[in-house]
Amino acid sequence: MSSRKSPLPLLVLLALAALLTSHSSAQDDTDWTEFDTSIEREVPDDSYETPAVRSQTESRAPFRRRIMRDDITIRIKNLRLDSGGKVRLVYGMPKNAKNVPAVFVLDVESNTMANASGLRLPGSSDRQKREFRQASYLLKSPFGSNMLGNGFAVAYIVADDLETIRSARTADWVGIFNRVRDLKPIDGNNVFLFSTREYANLSVYLTSKYNFSGFILEEPSYMLFSRNTHEKIIEDSDRLTPEEIWRRTDPTREFRYEQVLGKISTPIMLIRNPDSKAYTFNEKTLISKLNQVNAYYETVEVRGAGRALTVFGGSARSGVIEVSPEVSYYAPTVSKWVDEIITYMRINSSVDPIALRDPSNYRRW
């Protein structure tokens, strides 16, 4: 991986910087960094095993869409929040793309990868290693690599810790979303939000404040807008009525659900697991309120464990991830999950994404 400055003339760079700052509350800290990624320099030979085959023999290895380095552009920009905290906006997109649909990701894994230690890149500087870690979600995550590989621009933010990200306020997030939407290669009318359940509270609230083309959310495993999981009530939710659930948790949350969900005009895709303890709980709280406010939503049911989080330093019963967790995936379930997400975004996008070359499908003569 090598670092290089953009070949664009100075005036063009200044114009781009002005465009990027026109709608953002977060302040620029440095110029864009664009760099090559050490991904696939050439197509694999016949000895390469596809992810589907490899997942059967290595259950700990998540499904990952392989990407050719000549097919993508990755950039990183430092931003300053109103709180004073510093975050990095990372995005990748098909190289030389025009009018590409985009997805903004809220996934705790992106920050975990960005701060992972032990990355070995012989001959690379500390800055290059740091940049590669920050971009690793695009290349190593089953979600990031598949969305990018299927022709979507993928954007997210990372920081030195999750607390810095939590310090971002609504104006910061709206500014970041506008920044991504206004990037020249991106079609501003086709920007999606994808959130895993750790960011359920934040993503649902932001969707009530911002108009996305679509909103994909993993089934929350705790009460929205609450720091508590209410595990006992979740376990007993199959025999409790919705009224009893609200009364035994916090009755004020019921009104909060109606207030926030009623302001969402974005089509919602909810990923659900019928085997999850939270399935019935959400049926009687989240789903019932979505119906009550006439929200446009659809649910996709994917059975089986999808992800496992190992939380350090905080209470496992808390609804908030307090420190960077370890994340592992169950490949067959996640593969199905990813397919549903890609299909949903394609259907709800007015721009047809152009999938990148997949080196898994190539063989040398």
Whether 323 shows a pLDDT value over 70: the answer reads no
Backbone angles phi, psi at 2, to 5 degrees: -125, 150
SS3 for 127? helix
Give me the residue spans of the domains in the chain. 24-354
Say if residues 46 and 363 touch (Cβ distance below 8 Å). Answer: yes
pLDDT of residue 362: 63
Domain 24-354 has CATH 3.40.50.1820: yes
Q: What are the Cα distances from residue 64, in Å, to 35, 154, 234, 325?
A: 21, 15, 33, 20
At which residue do the structure tokens 């990355």 appear? 119
pLDDT one-digit tens code per residue, 174-200: 999 999 999 989 999 999 999 998 899
Tell me the pLDDT band of 14, cut-offs 50, 70 and 90. very low
pLDDT of residue 293: 94
Spatial distance between the Cα atoms of 258 and 251, rounded to a whole number of angstroms: 12
pLDDT one-digit tens code per residue, 325-361: 667 788 888 888 899 999 999 999 999 898 888 777 6
For 243, counting Cβ atoms within 10 Å of its Cβ (0-12 exposed, 13-18 middle, 19+ buried), the class is exposed
pTM of the model: 0.81
